[in-house]
């Protein structure tokens, strides 16, 4: 072979090696980075061209995929959209996915490990692969009742089956229409996205489980009362101090016993029973009770209710918190649900559920079952115990006290005729010159049916006037079935 020919072969060999190396790099090493690139249309077409399973509530699909006449093949649709949007999230060509669309993406696309054999069966039979259907635990009537009762006001509702942990309602208001973000019309999607992000009411936030957590106000007195009972030093009839005012330790700050600056004592001789203090929602009683039982006992009980735990239901739930290293003044304020105590509505529903379930808190779960297109069941809800903040005997005392709040206390607006209803209202201060948040936390049970619920209405004022009637609507929807 002459010299020029060898040079040609050398150049061809180098070019071949470069081609081989670049192909290997892009197809193997850089594969994930290229697939994740938002500008990679081929990846988008592949992703949206796959059948996606439905999300179902009470036998009706609330999120489904329909064939489209564009390159994406399928369009995700939601009906009714806004009422379930904080749960379903959205599935967008431009902005990705949120909610269950994100947390259950592998299941909905059919790529989850649990669906491996079903994928093999589809391949062998020549069928197009299909995603699995996800049946939720939500009760359609309870969800509708919560949505209607909030009526667009800023707030949230969470309801749970105390015995199983099944989430029966999860509403955040105001909400958004996920169909606007799922559209394949890029311009309109971007306009909708900009409007939602510019909205000061934050409709994209799921207030029931995340976002800026809320001070629970007097609803937190349920946790303090439970902690006191668990020390063994208190019963519902134990007399505790309740003067009209209480000067916080090592401070000049004075706590009033009732809202509006009233300085009435909780009972004759500046004292009352624990049950009576809860019925009246006496601030000074619970401030001093919190100091008496101590931070360690209060924190331990709160953690058994679920505080501090990062839950996946499978939506991610922001942990509810107490402050750290509290002095007595901070502990007193925390014990009436102020200072740095911050909660989600779901967490407070778990508090009521633990009381209703003989002191046992069950893991909240949002998925009832998963099944394939041929109706084969892949998984089903299995109740799991999360904690036990109360003995059964102390839980019975708590229910008795909470029933007193509804029958003849601050929570009468939540009463349901012929039904055992127990609860606690809350009016949570949160900002200078701002109206307080309105809370109701409670449970209802009759004839084997039961539900625990938490309602918060931002700047709604007194819990007895605003949140309690909403809770009544939701509990009645579940109980009456």
The string of pLDDT tens digits covering residues 336-372 is: 999 999 999 999 999 999 999 999 999 999 999 999 8
Q: Phi, psi at residue 200, to the nearest 5°? A: -65, -15
| pLDDT at position 31 | 56
Q: What would the mean pLDDT of 259-265 be, rounded to a whole number?
A: 65
Question: Tokens standing for 25?
Answer: 């790099």
The arithmetic mean of pLDDT across residues 379-401, rounded, is 96
Q: How confident is the model at residue 432 (pLDDT cuts 50, 70, 90)?
A: confident
Q: Using the 8-state DSSP alphabet, how is residue 114 labeled?
A: G
Instruction: Please tell me the predicted confidence (pLDDT) of residue 98.
Output: 96
H-only helix segments in 151-185: 178-182
pLDDT of residue 42: 47
pLDDT grade for 129, boundaries at 50, 70 and 90: low
Q: Which residue has the higher pLDDT, 269 or 27?
A: 269
Q: Is 218 a catalytic residue?
A: yes
The 3-state secondary structure of 246-287 reads: EECCCCCCEEECCHHHCCCCCCHHHEEEHHHHHHHCCHHHHH
- In this prediction, residue 29 carries a pLDDT of 60
Confidence grade of residue 73 (pLDDT, cut at 50, 70, 90): confident
Which pLDDT belongs to residue 290?
97
Q: Is the distance from CB of 224 to CB of 298 less than 8 angstroms?
A: yes
Structure confidence by residue, pLDDT tens digits, 374-389: 777 888 999 999 999 9
Mean pLDDT, the chain, integer: 89
pLDDT at 20 over 90: no
Q: For residue range 272-320, list pLDDT tens digits in order.
A: 999 999 999 999 999 999 999 999 999 999 999 999 999 999 999 999 9
DSSP conformational letter for 413: G
pLDDT at 454 over 80: yes
pLDDT digits (tens, 9 = 90+) for 171-221: 999 999 999 999 999 999 999 999 999 999 999 999 999 998 999 999 999
Percent of the chain with pLDDT over 70: 85
Q: Is the pLDDT of residue 127 over 60?
A: no
Q: Are 406 and 196 in contact (CB under 8 A)?
A: no
The pLDDT score that the predictor gives to residue 367 is: 97
Of 82, 146, 156, 144, give the one whose Cα is nearest residue 457.
Answer: 156
Tell me how long the chain is: 481
pLDDT above 50 for 43: no
The pLDDT assigned to 429 comes to: 84
> Cα separations (Å) of 18 from 162, 288, 301?
64, 77, 65
Q: Which of 27-36, 149-158, 187-196 has the lowest mean pLDDT?
A: 27-36
pLDDT attached to residue 33 = 61
Please tell me the distance from the alpha carbon of residue 246 to that of residue 161, in angstroms, as a whole number. Answer: 38
Burial label, 21 (beta-carbon count in 10 A; 0-12, 13-18, 19+): exposed
- Count CA within 13 A, CB hemisphere, residue 320: 27
Among candidate residues 218, 320, 438, 464, the one labeled active-site is: 218
Q: φ, ψ for residue 310 (rounded to 5)?
A: -90, 105
């Amino acid at each position: 072979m002459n010299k020029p020919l060898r040079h040609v072969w050398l150049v061809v060999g180098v070019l071949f090696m470069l081609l081989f190396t670049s192909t290997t790099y892009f197809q193997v090493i850089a594969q994930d980075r290229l697939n994740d690139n938002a500008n990679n249309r081929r990846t988008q077409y592949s992703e949206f061209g796959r059948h996606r399973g439905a999300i179902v509530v009470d036998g009706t699909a609330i999120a489904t995929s329909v064939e489209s006449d564009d390159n994406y093949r399928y369009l995700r649709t939601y009906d009714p959209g806004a009422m379930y949007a904080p749960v379903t999230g959205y599935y967008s060509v431009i902005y990705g996915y949120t909610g269950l669309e994100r947390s259950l993406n592998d299941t909905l696309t059919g790529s989850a490990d649990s669906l491996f054999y079903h994928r093999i069966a589809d391949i062998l039979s020549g069928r197009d692969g299909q995603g699995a259907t996800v049946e939720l635990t939500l009760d359609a009537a309870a969800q509708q009742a919560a949505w209607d009762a909030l009526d667009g006001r800023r707030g949230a509702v969470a309801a749970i089956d105390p015995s199983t942990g099944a989430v029966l309602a999860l509403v955040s208001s105001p909400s958004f229409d996920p169909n606007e973000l799922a559209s394949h019309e890029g311009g309109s999607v971007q306009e909708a996205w900009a409007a939602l992000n510019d909205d000061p009411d934050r409709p994209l936030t799921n207030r029931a489980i995340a976002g800026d957590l809320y001070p629970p106000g007097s609803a937190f007195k349920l946790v303090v009362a439970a902690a006191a009972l668990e020390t063994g030093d208190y019963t519902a009839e134990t007399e505790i101090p309740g003067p009209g005012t209480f000067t916080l330790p090592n401070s000049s700050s004075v706590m009033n016993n009732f809202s509006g600056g009233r300085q009435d004592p909780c009972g004759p001789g500046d004292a009352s029973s624990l049950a009576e203090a809860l019925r009246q929602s006496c601030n000074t009683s619970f401030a001093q009770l919190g100091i008496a039982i101590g931070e360690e006992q209060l924190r331990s009980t709160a953690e058994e209710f679920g505080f501090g735990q990062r839950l996946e239901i499978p939506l991610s739930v922001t942990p509810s918190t107490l402050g750290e290293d509290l002095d007595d003044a901070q502990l007193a304020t925390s014990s009436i649900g102020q200072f740095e105590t911050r909660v989600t509505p779901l967490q407070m529903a778990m508090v009521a559920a633990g009381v209703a379930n003989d002191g046992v808190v069950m893991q909240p779960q949002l998925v009832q079952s998963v099944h394939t297109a041929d109706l084969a069941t892949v998984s089903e809800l299995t109740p799991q115990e999360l904690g036990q903040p109360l003995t059964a005997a102390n839980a019975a005392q708590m229910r008795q006290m909470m029933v007193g709040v509804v029958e003849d206390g601050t929570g009468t607006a939540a009463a349901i005729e012929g039904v055992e209803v127990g609860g606690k209202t809350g009016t949570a201060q949160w900002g200078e010159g701002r109206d307080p948040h309105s809370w109701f936390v409670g449970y209802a049970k009759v004839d084997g049916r039961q539900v625990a619920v938490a309602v918060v209405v931002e700047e709604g004022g007194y819990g007895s006037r605003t949140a309690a009637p909403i809770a009544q609507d939701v509990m009645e929807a579940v109980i009456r079935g």
